[in-house]
Amino acid sequence: MNRRILQCACLLGVLGPGAMLAADTAKPNPASVVVTFDHPDKFTDVKDAYMPTEKGRDAILDQIKGFVESRAKSYLRAGQKLEVKFTDIDLAGEFEPQRGPRFNDVRIVKDIYMPRLKLEFKLTGADGKVINEGKRDLTDSAFMMRSVFPPSDELRFEKDILSDWLRSDVRAPARAAG
What confidence category does residue 172 fall into, taking pLDDT thresholds of 50, 70 and 90? low
23 pLDDT exceeds 80?
A: no
Q: Which residues contact 137 (CB under 8 A, 6 or more apart)?
A: 116, 117, 118
- State mean pLDDT over 4-26: 46
User: Phi and psi at residue 155, in whole multiples of 5°?
Assistant: -110, 25
CA separation for the pair 127, 116 (Å, rounded)? 33
82 pLDDT exceeds 90?
A: yes
CA separation for the pair 72, 79 (Å, rounded)? 13
Q: What is the pLDDT of residue 7?
A: 52
Please state whether the peptide bond connecting residue 28 to the residue before it is cis, i.e. omega within 30 degrees of 0.
no
Question: Nearest Cα to 121, choosing from 167, 160, 67, 170?
Answer: 170
In DSSP notation, 35-62 reads EEESSGGG-SB--SSSS--HHHHHHHHH
- The pTM of this model reads 0.77
H-run or E-run covering 113: none
Domain ranges of the chain: 30-176
178 pLDDT exceeds 70?
A: no
Tens digit of each residue's pLDDT (9 = 90 or more) over 105-130: 888 888 899 999 999 999 999 999 99
What confidence category does residue 173 fall into, taking pLDDT thresholds of 50, 70 and 90? low
Tens digit of each residue's pLDDT (9 = 90 or more) over 32-57: 999 999 999 999 999 988 788 999 99
Q: What is the pLDDT of residue 4?
A: 52
Q: Which of 46-50, 89-93, 148-152 has the lowest mean pLDDT?
A: 148-152
19 pLDDT exceeds 50?
A: no
For the beta sheet containing 130-139, the strands, ordered from the edge strand earlier in sequence to the opposite edge, are: 33-37, 81-90, 116-124, 130-139
